[in-house]
Each structure stands twice: as structure tokens, then as C-alpha cells.
Amino acid sequence: SISTHLHLPPPSPDEIIVRSLGGALNPHDWKFPHLLLHDGDDRPSNPGGRTPVRLGCDFHGVILALGPAARTRRPDLRVGDRVCGVVFGANPGSPATGAFADYVVAKAELVVVLGPAAARAPSSPSGVDCLPGTEEVVAWSGAAFLTLSLALRPYVLVYGASTATGTIAVQLLRLSGYLPLAICSPSHFDLVRSRGAEAAFDYHAPTSCVEAVRRYLSGRGDGGVLSCALDIIADDRSQRICAEVLGAAATATATAAAAAAVCVVLGKLSSGIAARHPAIRFESLVAATGFGVEVRLPGEYYRAADPAARAHVGNCFEEIQAVVRRGAVLPHPHEVLEGGYVGVLRGLDRLRRGQVRGRKLVYLRG
């Protein structure tokens, strides 16, 4: 629902106040409320007595005020700067935090200053045609995690490469010197190739997809090894295909690298997946842990506070700031929603129904 009687949460010394000019919608924005209302599964729970939470993670806007610690941590920030960033929306531990609002309180280290092009284009849906938000930070974090395991193995599998997270991950991996292999729908092959994918494969037929990757690697003749995968979709099918591709890749290259194979899943691990593929190390990366606070979701979705993850995401933002200044990453195709916050609610329903493919939903405020 939309409320017009909410108060701005009091900012901490390390936070800034931003007048919102708009933002972007993410899967998080409907999945977290669903989990809260269903106790982590598909059984509706009694919502009575629950404190309503504000939604929204990604925003862009103009800085109105900076806390004293924010000025120390981010001496580059000024009142009047146009920035974009992320907050932990739909957070039962901080119900008043959310980006879908006229004014947003955010941590100073979790924003990026937009360049002169953004200042000259106030109606741009994403400030600089590229909104470094939740999906981009998750992509960066996943890519950074993978590079710790890559060593000199140049190939990386990206399942869900045509999503907003996927196209960013492909570019970041390419900028880091790796060769991304994309798995997505054939209708998006041109998109992922334009973002740097070395090759693209169709996920619709799992068996032929796995075989196609195996043939591709065996025919390269460059000695390249594929032993890492980034699974952005994070369902049973995607994790199974990633595991089978990693296994087939080891056969194709005839190396011992599979013993160190790793699959980073941007979500919950499928039941029994690790037991069925003992040669592969599966890692679950939940975006909300990057805020460094307790993730108060039920059951296996719960995460304890992780200050180290917060520091890692802060480092990611420093790197993203440099990339934004250079204009080194192309944006994901976007669609501007009409109708303000009503349009946001409609957009969230479209995301929930799986009706958004190959583009990112953004909205504008005056």
C-alpha cells in the first residue's frame, strides 16, 4: 500500500539524507515481503501484529544533509550532489528504512556520486543511464568472490546473464580479464554478447545446453578451464545446470581443476545439491548480508550480522565509483514506469509474476 503519513527516520551520524528523484525495482522488493508474510515458505502466516516495513532498495537523488561521521568517511560528498545508492528495504529490523519514498536516509559509503552527464539530464531514468544499485552491487560482489577462486582459469559461467545483475556481472568479469560464458534465452543472446559474453547458450534444454558448453570448450584449443559459475537465478534448475556444466567442463578440458570448482548462488541453495555434486563447492550469497546487519527472515533465510560483509560492499562501492567515472560499464535496458508509486506497485506485481525479461524497471519522481 501507499502511505502519505510517514516520518523520515532519524539519520545516524554516518548517514545522509537524500531527496529522491526515483529508483529501480529489484526482485528483493517483492521476495522479502513475501517471505515475511509466509514465514519463509508458501504457507501464509498470520500478519496480525506485524510492523509494516517500507519497501525499496535502489534510489537516486540529491543530497540534502550529511551527518558528521558521513563527512569524515566520505569527504567527497557535498550537499547538492546527485547520487545513487542502496538501502536495506523491507527490513523488519529497521521498518522505516526504504527507498520507495520522497526522502531516503542512507549510509554514506553506500552511495555513488553521479557525473556531470547526470546533472545535465535530470529526467534520466537512472541518473547516468546506469544506476549502480542492489543488483549491480550483488553482481560485483559475486564477481569479486569468484575471482578469488579463478587464478589463471579464464572462463566463468554466468547463469541468468541477461538479467540486470547478469549483464553487469558479465561486464565486470570481462573488465577483470576473464571470459564469461552466458546462459540465457536465445532472444537475449545479442544483449549478453554486446556486454562482453564470449559465447551464449540456451537454458531451455538442459541436456543440450550442458553438451553445447562441453563442445565449445573442447573445441577452443586454448587450454582454458571453466571451474567457476555464478548462478543469478538460484532455483533448482539453474543450480543443477551449473553443476552439470562444471562437471562436463572438467571432462572437456581433461584437467584436475574441477576439484576446485565453485558455484556462487545468489540466493538459497537447493536441497541436496551439494551432496549430489561433492566435487563442487557451493556458496550462497544473500544480498542483504552486505548491509552488515542482522537479516531477520525466517528459517534458513536468516543471516546473522556480518560487519565484514558490510566492509566488502563498501569496497565494492569505491570500485563502482571509479567505474562510473570512467563510463566503463554499459547499463541494462530499462523501462520507465508511469504513475509514480502506483506504477511501482504494479511493477512489483509484474516482477512477482515473472513478466519482466531483459530489462530493468525504473521510476521517476519530480
**Cα–Cα distance, 157 to 181 (Å, whole number):** 5
Residue partners of 336: CB distance under 8 A and separation at least 6: 125, 362, 363, 364
Q: Which of these, 192, 189, 191, lies nearest to 202 by C-alpha position?
A: 189
What band does 337 get if pLDDT is binned at 50, 70 and 90? very high
Quick one: pLDDT at residue 147?
57
Quick one: pLDDT at residue 118?
52
**Cα–Cα distance, 292 to 141 (Å, whole number):** 14
Quick one: pLDDT at residue 198?
96
Contact 56, 33 (CB under 8 A): no
Quick one: pLDDT at residue 157?
95
Quick one: pLDDT at residue 39?
58
Is residue 246 pLDDT above 60, yes or no? yes
Helix axis angle for 307-326 and 134-150, nearest 10°, is 100
Cell of 143: 564477481
Give SS3 for 108: helix
**Cα–Cα distance, 187 to 5 (Å, whole number):** 44
- Amino acid residing at 28: H
Quick one: pLDDT at residue 349?
96
- Which regions of the chain carry the CATH code 3.90.180.10? 15-140+306-364
pLDDT tens digit sequence for 287-325: 788 888 898 877 777 889 988 888 888 888 887 788 777
Is residue 137 pLDDT above 70, yes or no? no
- Which regions of the chain carry the CATH code 3.40.50.720? 155-284
Residue with more model confidence, 311 or 257: 311
Task: Tell me the chain's radius of gyration from C-alpha atoms.
Answer: 20
Question: What fold is seen in the domain 155-284?
Answer: Rossmann fold (3.40.50)
15-140+306-364 CATH: 3.90.180.10
140's enclosing H/E stretch is helix 134-150
Contact 132, 320 (CB under 8 A): yes
Handedness of CA 17, 19, 24, 28 (dihedral sign): positive
Is residue 82 pLDDT above 90, yes or no? yes
pLDDT tens digit sequence for 260-294: 788 989 888 888 888 899 989 998 887 788 888 89
Question: Once rounded to an integer, what is the mean pLDDT over residues 215-226?
Answer: 80
Instruction: Output phi, psi for 216, to 5 deg.
Output: -60, -50
Cell of 287: 544480498
Mean pLDDT over the full length of the chain: 83
Quick one: pLDDT at residue 117?
52
Question: Once rounded to an integer, what is the mean pLDDT over residues 346-354?
Answer: 94
**Cα–Cα distance, 91 to 36 (Å, whole number):** 9
Q: What is the pTM of this model?
A: 0.85
Is residue 48 pLDDT above 50, yes or no? no
**Cα–Cα distance, 59 to 134 (Å, whole number):** 10
Quick one: pLDDT at residue 116?
59
pLDDT tens digit sequence for 37-47: 765 444 444 44
Is residue 255 pLDDT above 60, yes or no? no
**Cα–Cα distance, 346 to 338 (Å, whole number):** 10
Give residue for cell 553482481: 139
Is residue 163 pLDDT above 50, yes or no? yes
Residue partners of 366: CB distance under 8 A and separation at least 6: none
Quick one: pLDDT at residue 45?
46
CA 188 to chain CA mean position, Å? 19
- Amino acid residing at 50: R
- Amino acid residing at 187: S
Residue with more model confidence, 161 or 143: 161
Number of other residues whose CB lies within 10 A of the CB of residue 86: 33
Quick one: pLDDT at residue 134?
63
Residue with more model confidence, 67 or 225: 67
Give SS3 for 83: strand
**Cα–Cα distance, 128 to 118 (Å, whole number):** 5
Is residue 145 pLDDT above 80, yes or no? no
**Cα–Cα distance, 58 to 35 (Å, whole number):** 20
Quick one: pLDDT at residue 227?
86
Give residue for cell 566463468: 156
What band does 6 get if pLDDT is binned at 50, 70 and 90? confident
What band does 251 get if pLDDT is binned at 50, 70 and 90? low
Residue partners of 116: CB distance under 8 A and separation at least 6: none
Question: Once rounded to an integer, what is the mean pLDDT over residues 111-138?
Answer: 57
What band does 185 get if pLDDT is binned at 50, 70 and 90? very high
**Cα–Cα distance, 14 to 36 (Å, whole number):** 28
